Structure 1
Amino acid sequence: MFRKSHLLASWGVVVALGWFAGATLLQAEELSAEEVQAIEPAPDKVARMQAMAARIDELILAKLESEKATPAPLASDGEFIRRAYLDLVGSIPTVAQTRAYLEDTSPDKREKLIAQLLKSPAHPTHLANTWRALVLKPTDDPTSLQNEQGLQQWLRGKFSENTRYDRLVEEFLTATQGNDGPGYFYAAQELKPELLAAETSRIFLGLQLECAQCHDHPFDRWKQRDFWGVAAFFAQLERPNNDNNLGLGRFDIVDRSVGEVMIPETEDIVKPAFPGTDADYASFGGTRRQQLAIWMVSRDNPFMPRRAVNWAWSHMMGRGIVHPADDMSPQNLPSHPELLDELTTYFVKSGFDLRLLLQTIAITDTYARSSEAVSESEAPPELFARMAVKSLTPEQLYDALLKVGLLHDNSPERLNGGARVQFVARMRTAGKDRTTFDTGMPQALALMNGPPVSTATNPETSGLLKAMSAPFLSDEQRLKVLFLAAYSREPNSAELARYEEFLQTASPAEQSQALGDVLWVLANSAEFMLNH
């Protein structure tokens, strides 16, 4: 019997564990997405998108030249298709999809691939996964995991419709029904004004106001009254009938007409106040949350659209123009201020079209660059000389393992429960920086030796291995399929020779198991477990 550990050692592959351990209330003048599309001919929109993409590349290259840093070459087709699939639909491509892309010789195939992925129903599902993780803290509590599904489904619906981003923010901030909306977010914060102020400011404004909760921020402009002024917008919330149970069920919210916040350990009542502005909240009308939403989604809001643009850039590039992406304090300067300004203007003029923003970034040469270092003197990551190596989210890793034959459950229910939820809970981490690999030893060992991967590499249960048992296939053809499935590329000559030699040492009875061992190694390598 061939031992996987022997194969791992013989190949010399570096698994991810070791290789990367360190590493609507809208203003009247605004138009709906449908109205924007109706008055803006599609060719003009495409031309503007291509012009903005060219401008992105121009600004990035200008900064690289000024810093005397060399940009990486464009990624290979295999690198690019795998990256685009992971970033836009949350999984890796199939062998057939990869082969079709590799064989395509059209000069605009990158742009066509991006457009195709953004139309896929998997795109809003992936964004919903991403945003659920952005707005909720990691948990492995089964009840909390089940409750999260209502928020995730709401997010998926909004992203599926390509809802204007400002409308999405407004609806999130003013939600009242929880089983089909963001109510669980409010319930998870226990309706505490201070928690809601800290989280909504971080998520939608990129402001870390919680540091001023107990005292004036020691390094930033924010004062204690700034924090409690935002908290006051959430001071009049309650659950119907004062039902604060966080068990399964609805999480409805009621806006009352009474309720205030006070500076801790004082009797100083703080009225609602928008951070960084003297605008009068009372002039906006409506409930306090509606007043906050009107200000937050207004065109002249200095924070909201910049935060959205910085999130999109971070999602695609691995780090924001401002890093960390949710800390856009005036003291935390952007690496490319002109780029952030121009992208924000572009985003607002597009009608807050988040999908178009992602598409614009995705068609740039900056996004298409290889992740490999091009010189011994590595350029700082904030220059974006090459693509950052990003850790997979738990959902991305689970779905990637599905693509190589890990599971055989193709029912719709698998997305909302069972093994998938358990896997995601086990692999979740508190860190939000995707350029570091902070999954621990227990998670890695469970992945490498647990029943799902054992099933995937068992020739009796793995659909992928069964498909390659046909006698007319050569070892070379089988290995190429495995590499295309796992890495979206064919093996190089050294890899092919090494694995062919390994397969040839197996007896006829051990051939299938030996091929399963190859799959096990590929599925546990850094190249598989990372987005690069």
Structure 2
Amino acid sequence: MRLLRLVLSGLAVLTYAATGRTDDLPPAGRPIESVVDQFVDAKMAADKVTPAELADDATLVRRLTLDLVGRIPTVGETDAYLKSTDADKRTKLIDRLMASTAFDRHQAIQFDVMLNGELARQGRGSVRDYLTQAMKDRKPWDQIFRELMLPGDTDATKAAGEFLRARVTDADKMTNDVSVAFFGVNVSCAQCHDHPLVKDWKQDHFFGMKSFLARTYEAGNFVAERDAGVVKFKPIKGPEKTAKLMFLTGAVVETDTLRELSKDEQKKEKEAADKKKDKTATAAPPRPKFSAREKLVEVALQPKEAEFFSRSIVNRLWHRFFGSGLVNPLDQMHSENPASHPDLLKWLARDLAAHKYDLRRLVRGIVMSKAYSRDSRYSSESRPEDKYFAVAKLKPLTPQQLATSLKIATTDPKSFEGLKESEFEKRIEQAEQAGRGLASLIAQPTDNFQIGVAEALLFSNGDRVAKEYLTDGGGTLLAAAKAAKEPTDAVALLVRTSMARPAGDDEVKALTAYATERKDRAADAYKQILWALVTCPEFRFCH
């Protein structure tokens, strides 16, 4: 039986390579990483694309640590991984990182940015505190979605209300933001007319989604919802229309609440709205008899309709770890913009739903794959297109990744040695907290990332980086370098700590020569070397 399964699996790969599709998706229960590699390898084979070699151990431990816990590894972590001969060391590293509290905090930051983008950086809409606890509690993605759409009055769920609160005064923005964040669909172009380029999206879709959300309003510390409401719109041709409660798939929720509020209802809403002035209110307004937002959650998670929901989060996580989505742009999931690997996306979405939207399981499967582990260097100048995932893509560090990594890169590595696990976790959290100020000054990277003028000036001319990271007081990397007996030892320590890898012979030779020429001012020489290391492209990117 096992031989038969292997033969059938091989035939599936050959069929995909020959036709670009399989008649049947791989069976449920297959490890995620094996399915990822099956489809990615098959597409490359079909198009005669040669993948890059697998990344070396130093690159892989740095990539995994950055992606999973938001920082570079310490010298001790890097050395332990490089020296280990355990055949399962990669699996154990992934499981250790994902079991840490730093994993929860990093995922919360990443999801907060994914949900809110620039709003979060403006101090609006951020649900980081809620997400941190949700990740710690290992809440599945569908539950997180439900609580963001239907924030309750408990401390745990009330914090989720900030997502809607930040958008409550602009129902059009709330409609598009919800569609983009949870379903990978930007419907804004269908607001004034049917989408001119995408036949999938009509005005009915935009205003149908708006009908689910337009009844939302703010009442004191809470996000409330009206018992009834109506959204009307004017098509390009024909009379004004009343929007139905219609999901992106065209599924309609029938209701008799599509009407204007009565005078009595308007009076009650005004009384609730007046509570905005009283931010000490602890009692949530009564829930509506018919909640349109609750119906949105219900229909979006129904098996026949959940494809948008599950595919979108799969695509976003794939983009985070690979630097490019299976569908690009991330908010353009429609029939005229197919995925690079449609069957892979379909299988991953189905698998995620079958396993109750377990985000950790999906993340682990992605980073366990061979596709994730490829080198970012390629053997020829003609690199394959991103859609093949044949070579790792450089990913700019996020503000918090960069700031935390700077703190670790400029700290004496002995500060992290000999600590109990709980003490090590606490030291890492302190590094994160120390970097928050700097992180607030760095722009969130986008797909077409270029270092901005503000960041360039911050690192080249500003004194904040020098004062916070390039000092030689006790416990710093520069202090340890100054205490080294020989310049070669100091240089090796500087590179090994900041770059999270052993120094190359050419690096040691060149940097030692630089330090030796300035032996009368060795401290300044080491400071310049460290500054050059932490501001170079190798440090700035996850590679």
Q: Is TM (by shorter chain) over 0.5?
A: yes
The alpha-carbon distance between structure 1 residues 283 and 477, as it changes in their structure 2 partners (threshold 3 A), is: farther
CA contact (8 A) 2:66 2:401 kept: yes
Give secondary structure in 2 for the equivalent of 1:253. strand
- Structure 2 counterpart SS, 1:517: helix
Specify the SS of the correspondent of 1:468.
Answer: helix
Instruction: Give the 5 Å matches for 1:36-75.
Output: 51-75=31-55
1:262 aligns with 2:232: yes
Q: Specify the alignment match of 1:198 in structure 2.
A: 176
- Determine the C-alpha separation between the residues in 2 that align with 1:530 and 1:506: 30
Partner of 2:202: 223
Structure 2 counterpart of 1:345, from 345, 350, 356: 350
Bigger relative contact order (CA 8 A; separation at least 6) = 1
Instruction: Indicate conservation of the 8 Å contact 1:177/1:253, yes or no.
Output: no
Q: CA deviation at 1:134?
A: 1.4
* Greater displacement, 218-227 / 295-304: 295-304
- Cα 1:106–1:139, aligned 2, differ >3 Å: closer, same or farther? same
Corresponding residue number in structure 2 for 1:40: none
Match of 1:397 among 371, 379, 402: 402
State how 1:236-275 maps to structure 2 within 5 Å.
Answer: 236-240=215-219, 250=221, 252-263=222-233, 267-275=240-248
Query: Which residue of the partner structure matches residue 43 of structure 1?
Result: none
1:194 is aligned with what amino acid?
D
Q: Answer yes or no: is the 8 Å Cα contact 1:98–1:484 preserved in 2.
A: no
CA deviations 1:164-197 (Å, max 9, x no partner) are 1111111111115598423222222134321111
1:438 alignment partner, SS class: coil
Structure 2 residue identity aligned to 1:155: L
> C-alpha distance in 1, partners of 2:477/2:210?
54
Identity %: 28
Q: Amino acid of the residue matched to residue 232 of structure 1?
A: S
8 Å CA contact 1:178–1:253 kept in 2: the answer is no
Partners of 2:326 and 2:341 within 8 A in 1: yes
Quick check: 1:501 aligned with 2:513?
yes
In 1: Cα distance, 2:119 partner to 2:346 partner: 36
Pairing partner for 1:528 from 522, 528, 539:
539
Aligned mate of 2:387, from 371, 377, 382 = 382
Q: Is the 8 A contact 2:253 2:295 kept in 1?
A: no
Q: Structure 1 CA distance, aligned partners of 2:138 and 2:379?
A: 38
* Corresponding residue number in structure 2 for 1:277: 250
- How far the C-alpha of 1:119 sits from its partner, in A, is 0.7
Kindly indicate whether the alpha-carbon contact (under 8 Å) linking 1:91 and 1:396 is maintained by their aligned counterparts in 2: yes
**Following TM superposition, by how much is the alpha carbon of 1:476 offset from its aligned partner in structure 2, in angstroms?**
2.6
* Cα deviation, residue 286, structure 1: 4.2
Tell me which of 499, 504, 512 is aligned to 2:523. Answer: 512
Match of 2:338 among 328, 333, 353: 333
| Cα drift, residue 258 of structure 1 | 2.4
Q: Verify the 8 A CA contact 1:77 1:102 in the aligned structure 2.
A: yes
Structure 2: which amino acid aligns with 1:438?
A: Q
The 8 Å contact of residues 70 and 374 in structure 1, kept in 2 or not, is answered as no
TM superposition shift of 1:320? 0.8
1:212 is aligned, of 190, 193, 207, to: 190
In the TM superposition, 1:291-440 aligns within 5 A as 291-300=295-304, 301-405=306-410, 420-429=435-444, 432-433=446-447, 436-440=448-452
**1:297 Cα deviation from its structure 2 partner:** 2.1
**C-alpha distance in 1, partners of 2:428/2:320?**
29
- Which residue type is aligned with residue 107 of structure 1? A
- CA separation of 1:49 and 1:484: change in aligned 2, threshold 3 A: farther
TM-fit CA distance, 1:358:
0.5
Displacement after TM superposition at 1:66 (Å): 1.3
**CA shift at 1:225, angstroms?**
1.5
- Residues in 2 aligned to 1:480 and 1:296: alpha-carbon distance in whole angstroms: 55
Task: Give 5+ residue unaligned stretches, structure 2.
Answer: 1-26, 258-288, 416-425
Amino acid aligned to 1:263: F
Q: Distance in 2 between matches of 1:280 and 1:271?
A: 8
- The residue number in structure 2 matching 1:20 is none
- 1:300-336 Cα deviation digits (max 9, x unpaired): 3221011111111111111111112232122111001
Q: What's the counterpart of residue 283 of structure 2?
A: none
Is the 8 Å Cα contact of residues 201 and 207 (structure 1) preserved in structure 2? yes
**Equivalent residue number for residue 26 of structure 1:** none
Secondary structure at the aligned position of 1:426 is classed as: coil
RMSD value, Cα: 2.7
Deviations 1:193-220 (A, max 9, x none): 2111101110110111111111110111
- Which of 461, 466, 472 is the matching residue for 2:479? 466
Residue 303 of structure 1 aligns to a residue in which SS?
helix
- The residue correspondences of 1:439-458 to structure 2 (distance < 5 A) are 439-455=451-467, 456-458=469-471
Aligned counterparts, 1:11-30, within 5 A: none
The structural deviation recorded for 1:406 is: 7.3
Q: Distance in 2 between matches of 1:354 and 1:489?
A: 30
Alpha-carbon contact 1:202-1:208 (below 8 Å) kept: yes
Judged with a 3 Å threshold, the aligned counterparts in structure 2 of structure 1 residues 106 and 196 are, in CA distance, closer, same or farther, namely same
Q: After TM superposition, which residue ranges in structure 1, 4 or more long, deviate above 6 angstroms?
A: 47-50, 406-414
After superposition, give the CA deviation of every residue in 1:422-462 in whole Å (9 maximum; x if it has no partner): 43332124x632xx323311222112332332122232477
SS at match of 1:427: coil
The 1:66/1:120 distance shift into structure 2, 3 A limit, reads same
Matched, 1:484 2:496: yes
How far apart are residue 466 of structure 1 and its match? 1.3
Matched, 1:156 2:132: yes
Return the letter of the residue paired with 2:470. Answer: T
SS in 2 for 1:211: helix
Closer, same or farther: CA 70–318 of 1 in aligned 2, 3 Å: same
The change in CA–CA distance for 1:489 and 1:256 in structure 2 (over 3 A counts) is same
Q: How far off is 1:52 after superposition?
A: 2.7
Q: Distance in 2 between matches of 1:230 and 1:267?
A: 17
The alpha-carbon deviation at position 159 of structure 1 amounts to 1.2
CA gap 1:157/1:49 in 2 versus in 1, 3 angstroms: farther
Q: Which has the higher mean CA deviation after the structures are superposed, 51-60 or 354-363?
A: 51-60
Q: Does the residue aligned with 1:346 lie in a helix, a strand or coil?
A: helix
Q: Give the superposition deviation at 1:259.
A: 2.2
* CA gap 1:209/1:489 in 2 versus in 1, 3 angstroms: same
CA spacing shift, 1:520–1:139, aligned 2, 3 Å: farther
Partner-residue secondary structure (3-state), 2:118: coil
Residue 173 of structure 1: aligned partner: 149
Report the CA distance shift for 1:176/1:447 in structure 2 as closer, same or farther (over 3 A): farther
Question: How far apart, CA to CA, are the structure 2 residues paired with 1:185 and 1:452?
Answer: 33
* Equivalent pair of 2:400/2:439 in contact (CA under 8 Å): yes
Looking at structure 2, the residues matched to 95 and 414 of structure 1 have their Cα atoms a distance apart, in angstroms, of 15
Q: How many pairs align?
A: 466
- Offset at 1:56? 1.3
Q: Given the two structures, how large is their TM-score scaled by the length of structure 1?
A: 0.82
Does the C-alpha gap of structure 1 residues 154 and 140 become closer, same or farther in structure 2, counting only changes over 3 Å?
closer
Q: Distance in 1 between matches of 2:188 and 2:430?
A: 38
1:378-424 Cα distance to aligned partner (Å, 9 max, x none): 111110001110111111111111112379996978867xx755433
